[in-house]
Amino acid sequence: MDWDNVAAEDVIEALREVEWSTPPRSFGEFFSRFAFPRSFSKWKSRLKCNLYYYRTNYFILVVLLLGLALVTRPLAIVGAALTALGIAFLNDSFAASFNEKFIRTIRHFSPHMAAKMRPPHMPVIRGRSAARKTVYVCGKPRWAYVVVLLTASLAMWFSSCGLLLVLYALLTSLVVIVLHASVRTPNLKARLNTFREEFRAVWRNYSEL
């Protein structure tokens, strides 16, 4: 895949739609084969490739750094957990999977309530849903839950006086991720994995026609 032709918006869209259920890359693979890029274009291509390929590792890294920064502030840790959940809801596959598992659990106790949590019926035009990009969680648009979770986490950080620590931890995470993604050379396994996920995405879109 030629990452030079991939825009930053495309990478963000791919991270929003791709499956995040895959396990993180091994420690040995994550910390091996470092080299500085030879040009600015090579750096941009490597950065986008590694952000996509090591996405799960970077997410775990952010969570760990937040946990270490807030280890003495339990309320701030709960706020960080709510933030992680809110960010995870931005991913289509995670939101859909969470919605199905939660409704399935509620169905054991109240089938009527579970039926109300189902997303509204979507009109179909030429084999595709008119609101294909709209993702629902428990019958509500997922953006409602994202806003509620982020607002609640922000309130917890303010009340625990941990907002400054959170900002420091997030800034440190960003610097570490950018440095790693900049010097970690993409290996053959990363390229093959990218091609495989591209094929699955194309095949999934083709099957929806």
pLDDT value for 162: 66
Q: Cβ neighbours of residue 137 under 8 Å, at least 6 residues apart?
A: 89, 95, 98, 99, 102, 145
Identify the band that residue 191 occupies on the pLDDT scale cut at 50, 70 and 90.
Answer: low
* Average pLDDT value for residue range 72-98: 83
Q: What is the DSSP string of 49-114?
A: HHHHHTHHHHHHHHHHHHHHHTTT-HHHHHHHHHHHHHHHTTSHHHHHHHHHHHHHHHHHH-HHHH
Identify the band that residue 199 occupies on the pLDDT scale cut at 50, 70 and 90.
Answer: very low
* Average pLDDT value for residue range 174-183: 92
Q: CA 109: distance to chain centroid? A: 31
Is the pLDDT at 201 greater than 50? The verdict is yes
Helix (H) / strand (E) containing 125: strand 124-125
Helix (H) / strand (E) containing 128: strand 128-129
pTM above 0.85, yes or no: no
Q: Which two three-digit tokens encode residue 187?
A: 């290996």
Identify the band that residue 188 occupies on the pLDDT scale cut at 50, 70 and 90.
Answer: low
Q: Chain-wide mean pLDDT for the chain?
A: 77
* Average pLDDT value for residue range 115-123: 70
Rounded-to-5 percentages of helix, strand, coil across the chain: 70, 5, 25
Residues forming beta bridges with residue 125, ordered by sequence position: 128
Neighbours of 94 (CB within 10 A): 20
* Average pLDDT value for residue range 108-125: 72
Is the pLDDT at 179 greater than 90? The verdict is yes
Domain ranges of the chain: 76-120+134-160
Dist CA 58 CA 196 (whole Å): 21
pLDDT value for 121: 62
Q: Cβ neighbours of residue 187 under 8 Å, at least 6 residues apart?
A: 29, 33
* Average pLDDT value for residue range 165-184: 89
Is the pLDDT at 38 greater than 60? The verdict is yes
* Average pLDDT value for residue range 29-55: 85
